[in-house]
Chain A
Amino acid sequence: MSRNLWKFFHVLIVGVILLGVVGCTAPVAPAAPAPEAAAPAAAAGLEACKGQSLVLASMTDQYVAAFRALVPKFEEASGATITLDELGYVDLYQKLIADFVGHTGNYDLMTVDIVWSGEFGQNQYTRTLDDFMARDEAELQLDDILPVAWTLGEWQGAHAAYPLAGYANVLNYRKDVLEQAGIEPPATQEELLAAAQALTNPDAGMYGIALLGAKGPAVAQDYMAWVQQHGGRILDDEGKPALNTPENVEILKFFGELFKYAPPGSTDYWWDQRETAFRNGNVAMMEGWSIARAGYENPEISTVVGKVDIAVAPVKAGMEPKYGFGGWGIGINADSTPEEQECAWQFIKWLTSPDIQKEWLRNDGAPIRRSTMTDPEIVAEYPWMPVLLESFEKGDGDYRPRIPQYSIIQDALGTHVNAFLVGEETAEEALAAAQKQVEDNWQ
């Protein structure tokens, strides 16, 4: 009896091994490139969406509230159904990559972080939008979109995503606290450090500045923001990683110096905890993305209502002012059907039109158009718009390299800058180790 069973089990295993071997010998030639999307026919309007159903994957940033408010309006106007899938940063990236490499086409529309532009564009994960843009140019008012906003999705001259939400790195500060201490809002990095030091008083539960220190994307992105503000660089002239230059080591030491005047838990802060620290009134200053600005005036989530102002992010003394720019584009899956792609494009066109942009902004979205940012009604509602516009006009969308290998750089810096901050490595060791890790994984 048992011999029979064994025989059967062996047959089964051999079968499975054969299956595996068949997998082994399967041709490993390059997979066929994603089918070229059919060239769009004559200009189509919202009627192209009738009966279509799309899935939109969105990052759970503030602007997701604007999607929740505007998607139903689009559905009503067009007859399409759009399912909104809200995902956190890491989940969104992983689900999108799985969808793209598996060619499953689950998501038709997706929010694309500025730093993913290169990867998505190079690999043709998202459909190039240039043909749609050329076809509908008359309706798009492309000149009205700020030049820096095009870095949200542009890769090597083509558009892998369309500008959706522009963020500027700005300095938020507590008017009351600075006034009381007789300190002017810092205009340079040197003044920032001095102000942070002067405003720190742990006994009163007040710290000078809130920073991102948690291992991973958080600390990596904050450090890169400081590299930008000190005129440092992540890539050299040839586009190769240059993390451990003497300038960058100095900048890292400066960054570490700032942490002395940050809440003690800062080396464990992600974006949400940094926001909490500022909204709870524990810190006097915080550099961060402009999209969070409106939230400080919301008494449900903020204890600092009416006490906050913003200024352009301070740069190193003597440096030509340039401000960190980031945010999100919106892309169309290259694996969606031409009909779905057409409808997705209609959605993008509708959402980014000047009229809807005002609604988008009022529902916690972020701007991309000059006309929205200079609209008198909008400026009256959001008095900080001029600061934002100035930051956008001198914005630098490439301070975090928008290249396909970005995630490798981010992971290496995310590990080793954190190791420096908690005292495991010196600044020199940390950047040398990060450089080595990037070189080892560079493709």
Chain B
Amino acid sequence: MTVIQEQQVVSRRGGWGDGLRRMWRGEGAYLAMLLPLLIFVAAIAIYPLLFSFRISLFKYRLTDPNQMQTFVGLDNYWRAFQDPIVLTSLRVTLIYVAGTVLVEMVLGLALALLLASEGRMIRGTRALLLLPMALPPLVVGLVWKSLYNADFGVIPYYLKQLGVDVGRGPLAELGWAMPAVILIDVWQWTPLLMIIFLAGLKSLPIEPYEAAFADGATRWQRFIHITLPLLKPTLLVALLLRTMQSFKVFDVIYATTGGGPGSATTVLNFHIYTVGMTFFDMGYAAALANVLLVIIAILSALYIVILERQQL
């Protein structure tokens, strides 16, 4: 339709007021209703993303009195790939992600199966198990830090009673610090997976179980051959969610070990924080943050593809 024709159509319909009314009734309604959300997404998600990409191309130190921003192209990214701390922290992050996600998936599923039936006691237990999730991670970190304290903490106290040598305490020993922070994450986030798996279990059809029962399948066989395959989409969603969250971990590390001892728990996000908030090297920090973003984006894309295949 040419412009002139279009104008004629509008005028025939009786001017702007009528046009708007039609718009409202028709397709425009979608737009009008989506507008606030679209503006929100653009302002809150897209603009900061572009801004962070922009400053990652500059040498920009916040504490520089002249606030000079010098364009350096991809130098900050190049620097990231040569920075030994980045490589170490990436390795540490992967260990953290693998540790937390694996343990939480297994424990979450076990808890969900255990608490799937109904009953007052079970409902009460489920509610209690959700409590850790309601606490801010920073508070959780501080509480666990005092629980772990080698000299005044409860956990080393009982370990010592059992004859275990706690050395410098769980958070200060090179070999123990990572399992110790993983345990905190497991304590806090396993209930989330339990809830997701519970929802998945509740939505499973009953017929396959009846058939299996008639065929004389054992509990274990029913779990392996019916429950697990049917639960696959739920498992994948949970895996995706927790992996992404785990990759971004910061607060628990900040509150407990500060990335120590040495660099045993310096995850990538904590290193980014140090670069950004201790050195105020904003350009480099933005570049590192974007690297983390790309890693997480690739992971999400991968999982989404897998998820879609599963559903076909």
Contact = CB atoms under 8 A, between A and B. Distances in A.
Tell me whether A and B are bound partners.
Answer: yes
Interface of A: 1, 4-5, 8-9, 12-13, 15-17, 19-20, 23-24, 28, 30-31, 33, 94, 97, 101, 119, 122-124, 213-216, 263-268, 273, 276-277, 280, 282, 404, 407-408, 411, 415-416, 418-419, 421-425, 441, 443
Contacts of B164: none
22 contacts: A4-B31, A16-B47, A19-B50, A20-B47, A20-B50, A20-B54, A101-B62, A101-B67, A119-B63, A215-B258, A215-B261, A265-B168, A268-B149, A268-B168, A268-B172, A268-B260, A282-B151, A408-B278, A422-B173, A424-B263, A425-B262, A441-B281
A23 B54 contact: yes
B167 to A, nearest CB: 6
B34 A273 contact: no
Contact of B278 (A15, A16, A265, A407): A407
A28 B67 CA distance: 8
B50 A422 contact: no
Interface residues of B, number: 52
Given A16-B47, A422-B264, 8 more contacts: A1-B27, A13-B46, A20-B50, A101-B62, A263-B150, A266-B168, A419-B260, A422-B174
A315 B149 CA distance: 31
Nearest to B45: A16
Interface in B19-57: 27, 30-31, 34, 38-39, 42-43, 46-47, 50-51, 54
A16 B50 contact: yes
Given A12-B42, A30-B68, A411-B279, A97 B174 contact: no
A312 B42 CA distance: 61
A264 B152 CA distance: 11
B42 A415 contact: no
B27 to A, nearest CB: 5
Contacts of A411: 274, 278-279
Contacts of A419: 260-263
A323 B168 CA distance: 30
A263 B151 contact: yes
B262 A216 contact: no
B63 A97 contact: yes
Contacts of A12: 38-39, 42
Contacts of A404: 63
Contacts of B260: 214-216, 268, 415, 418-419, 422
A215 B31 contact: no
B259 interface: yes
Interface string B214-252: 000000000000000000000000000000000000000
Contacts of B149: 265, 268, 273
Nearest to A425: B262
B40 to A, nearest CB: 11
A404 B169 CA distance: 35
A415 B262 contact: yes
A119 B63 CA distance: 9
A267 B172 CA distance: 6
Interface string B158-173: 0000000011110111
B261 A265 contact: no
A408 B279 contact: yes
Contacts of B152: 265, 273, 276, 280
Nearest to B257: A215
B67 to A, nearest CB: 4
Contacts of B280: 97, 101
Nearest to B41: A12
Contacts of A263: 150-151
Given A8-B38, A215-B258, A123 B30 contact: no
A441 B65 CA distance: 17
B277 interface: yes
Contacts of A407: 278-279
Nearest to B278: A411
B125 interface: no
Contacts of A123: 63, 65
B310 interface: no
Contacts of A273: 149, 151-152
B144 to A, nearest CB: 12
A16 B42 CA distance: 7
A352 to B, nearest CB: 28
Nearest to A218: B258
A42 to B, nearest CB: 32
Interface string B258-289: 11111110000000001001111100000000
A230 B285 CA distance: 37
Contacts of B117: none
Contacts of B42: 12-13, 15-16
Contacts of A9: 38
B66 interface: yes
A411 to B, nearest CB: 5
Contacts of B151: 263-265, 273, 277, 282
Nearest to B171: A268
Contacts of B31: 4-5, 8
Given A19-B47, A265-B169, A266-B168, A215 B262 contact: yes
Nearest to A17: B50
B98 to A, nearest CB: 21
A102 to B, nearest CB: 9
B11 interface: no
A176 to B, nearest CB: 20
Contacts of A268: 149-150, 168-169, 171-172, 257, 260-261
Contacts of A215: 257-262
A415 B85 CA distance: 11
A265 B38 contact: no
B69 interface: yes
A276 B66 CA distance: 44
Nearest to B85: A437
Contacts of B166: 264
A285 to B, nearest CB: 16
Contact of B54 (A13, A24, A216, A265): A24
Given A5-B34, A277-B151, A422 B281 contact: no
Contacts of B67: 30-31, 101
Contacts of A264: 150-151, 166-169
Contacts of A8: 31, 38
B61 to A, nearest CB: 7
Nearest to A270: B258
A28 B69 contact: yes
B189 to A, nearest CB: 24
A33 B67 CA distance: 10
Which 4 A-B residue pairs are closest in the complex by CB-CB distance?
A: A265-B150, A215-B260, A419-B262, A424-B262
A400 to B, nearest CB: 16
